[in-house]
Structure 1
């Protein structure tokens, strides 16, 4: 029922005049969503490169490879991800050995350079970008580092780097690398995984671990204040994440608090996808994969699990893609109280309102001067419809639920939409009649 309501809401949005942003703007990095893959633990499709594999040992290779990712590109695309981030691809001495033997070679267990090029090319054909996790070793020669960075852009046509930084790496070195890489490819992105939270000029964004701690604390349990993650959000650098390759799984936080992972993940992902920044999702999050600290956080991916969370993630990704306000808009907190939060995003005449109820009870929130009078809020997740009455909008959100609204003109009978829908139904019924008739004659 909810899926049908959501589809109807999206159709209403498509046929209405509420989406006034106009022609498609040039895409930028703030419009992307990143799916990070630990290559060895994702999908094993090429058994010819299974060297020293032991899938029962977290410190050994499990067999995942480039071909495995190629075989799952549609799976990633269909969830709405536009960027694939690959764990370090370089040749090393064994799975757990962080010392890179050769920056100019792919790890034999993952596949050849040719196979990586095929992966990037196929991703580009599907309108997805590929970025590499790029570990920088302490004191590493600057000229060598820059040569390596430029070489992979030329050879593999990758679209960005996540700089995974060792101790003592100078900001000047990072600035040089970013400048040189962007000189090779104009729209190249350089992100930095500083666990210290340090910012460096010339880097497009960094992983904010202090904010991540607040985010996990806010959504891992019901009835928690969201104040820490709902204020000053617009000042946070672009990468938002709930967990990554260096943290224990968000699912583990939830389980440790005796909570159910499904609702907690849904609400947290809704926040991740509707606040300023680039959503970063660690592989397996879409199935609430469990795991403790490294290497336990990088367990084998399972593609045979329940699809409920995958469907939800796909849905909010579609809504984010449809509404530029969720990707580029200003942010204004409208309401927050112990797990219930409402905020507004605005961009070029488009207004989106997000309501997240991370509490154990249904919540009602009345908005008055915050929104233009005489319109309606159309829910795109659950099909909720809130019309202004006496200058007020009364939102009612069930426990453990969220809704993303778009502010639109009040809807009467939409004759074009009704006509189109009726035509589709008639054609479908006609098709069923013909099929039934043929089966009788067979």
Structure 2
């Protein structure tokens, strides 16, 4: 059944009334988790949102391009998962009605093959379901951003007459030929062509909507105003923003009355910045920074490009605080295809979260998904990988905590002249492999040396800090002091995890922020490095251009990675259970779930990292949990492992028996 967007059930409308519209200032402090609705969370008959009525009949194979069953209520089921990592906003894929048949490229599960903007896509639910999602988010003080498609309408053929006739027979929007530009295939290298020609191809032609037409303009503005008002939507992500004439956007966004961030798919900083400086959009996705990060933290290792982009972005955009920073999305490759080096990925993540702008994490990035280099393979069902805790999800939780503390602070309590959000990032030191960026009260130290780099030292000058003052790395909570001239010396070594990132703050500022407690020792809890040779705790010092490791006696836990090679089928989950508290004390309901993020057709690897007591001997077994909850233990005897009495992370490799 087709649901017209403005028609909202009275009960649902009442439930979401009174929520204030969110402008750019409301969004700049947020951290966004991006969702492809159909692929994020499966429907369930026993989950809180009771989504069993919307179960899709299709199997989920990313390459097949079918609907897999995810919907607005199944997102509600996983809000604890999203919020638990520190995200306080979500962006969902387009909600409007798409073509509903199999094409050469599959189905419109992604939401971008719209045929009528004013009707909901019933595969995701109805008006009550969308309203329920909004209410669930607002109850948690989380915001909703909806992906909007106005540039084109999916066609049945390359004939505008034939396609509009089909739209007329279906009772859809924009049924006259005058509402579209004549057929010409888009050339993205030519701006006129980008605005006036058709996207897609002969298999799925996307008719280019004529946004100069007065009826089209008024219809779009009326629709978006009612949509935002009726559902209390907080923000809009505008698909293919550069393919619509720029002058269309101010009226559309004014009618919406909420934050508008547009997709301007270009690495040219000036071309992207023009949409903000020209007053067309509040913000854009930060494609220049995306290219900076993917170039710097990859086998090509172009740190000079990143340094150049820092200067371009901070000088050419008028409001960098609201740019959308990302490493992967539904159009771009999964970042673990850019680099397989865990330390490079960690550095890029820090750059994504703490550089000027709003961090946007694409669903599954936290699961370290390494497959999905192109569309549609980068749009896999997340439930096939799982929702376990990974090293990267822990990093994200820590980075969101750091960023949240920074954005809620002021220079009245910290050593800074401009607040974190208002201050623009500045490069203060760099080498061909390293860069130090100052932003507000912190100094971000990034390197592309990688996990297996040679020992080296990076001297960070221009800190403006006094000599001999106590500093803290907010990522690991390790401590040190500045050199006599206020500089910081970072040593990359095996003990320090080689190429790991740092986020330095004065110890007094860290205490004011409520980060890393108020301790000045190296015994604070730290985010573990993914390098198997990394010390679990390190102390960064800078008094004599060196870095020293914390004494083994200060170590209260050792990061142990369990690798299990086991062949599984769809819906099965591998867990580990053992006598240690950290392994659930043999209680299968508390068993630790392994991640299948690195599982491939040739390498059936499941893995998890657990903090265990140094010197302890643990007994454990792996279990296979079927989709119906049935537990199967591997065969006897129990496995046994003695944890090192030192602090060095360890890896245990096993095969199912």
Whether the TM-score (by the shorter chain) exceeds 0.5 is yes
365-374 or 262-271, larger mean C-alpha shift? 365-374
CA contact (8 A) 1:34 1:81 kept: yes
**Does the residue aligned with 2:489 lie in a helix, a strand or coil?**
strand
| Match in the other structure for 1:298 | 379
How far apart are 1:402 and its partner, in Å?
Answer: 1.1
| Match in the other structure for 1:207 | 285
2:399 paired with 1:316: yes
Distance 1:417 1:243 in 2: 36
Aligned pair partner of 1:283 in 355, 363, 367: 363
Distance 2:136 2:398 in 1: 24
Distance 2:397 2:81 in 1: 11
2:74 paired with 1:53: no
| Match in the other structure for 2:611 | none
How far apart are 1:195 and its partner, in Å?
Answer: 2.0
CA contact (8 A) 1:32 1:83 kept: yes
Distance 1:142 1:310 in 2: 42
Deviations 1:73-119 (A, max 9, x none): 11111111121000011111233384423323321111111111111
Distance 2:466 2:302 in 1: 32
Distance 1:417 1:249 in 2: 38
Distance 1:395 1:222 in 2: 26
Distance 1:317 1:143 in 2: 40
Distance 2:310 2:471 in 1: 21
Distance 1:397 1:72 in 2: 41
| Match in the other structure for 1:154 | 229
How far apart are 1:52 and its partner, in Å?
Answer: 4.6
The alignment yields a C-alpha RMSD, in angstroms, of 2.7
Deviations 1:331-389 (A, max 9, x none): 2211121221111112xxxx211112321234433345532314322111112323234
| Match in the other structure for 2:19 | none
Q: TM-score, normalised by structure 1?
A: 0.78
| Match in the other structure for 1:353 | 443
| Match in the other structure for 2:89 | 83
CA contact (8 A) 2:428 2:437 kept: yes
Aligned pair partner of 2:432 in 315, 326, 338: 338
Q: TM-score, normalised by structure 2?
A: 0.54
2:474 paired with 1:380: yes
4+ residue runs of structure 1 moved beyond 6 angstroms?
A: none
How far apart are 1:27 and its partner, in Å?
Answer: 6.0
| Match in the other structure for 2:484 | 390
Distance 1:396 1:291 in 2: 35
2:144 paired with 1:64: no
How far apart are 1:303 and its partner, in Å?
Answer: 2.1
Higher helix share: 1
Higher Rg: 2
| Match in the other structure for 1:74 | 80
Could you list the runs of 5+ residues in structure 2 that have no partner in the other structure? 1-23, 44-50, 101-106, 153-208, 408-418, 493-497, 512-516, 520-657
Tell me which of the two structures has the higher relative contact order, counting C-alpha pairs closer than 8 angstroms and 6 or more residues apart.
1
How far apart are 1:282 and its partner, in Å?
Answer: 1.0
2:268 paired with 1:268: no
Could you list the runs of 5+ residues in structure 1 that have no partner in the other structure? 1-25, 183-187, 419-442
Deviations 1:246-274 (A, max 9, x none): 112222222xxxx33x3232211101111
Aligned pair partner of 1:192 in 255, 262, 266: 262
2:135 paired with 1:126: no
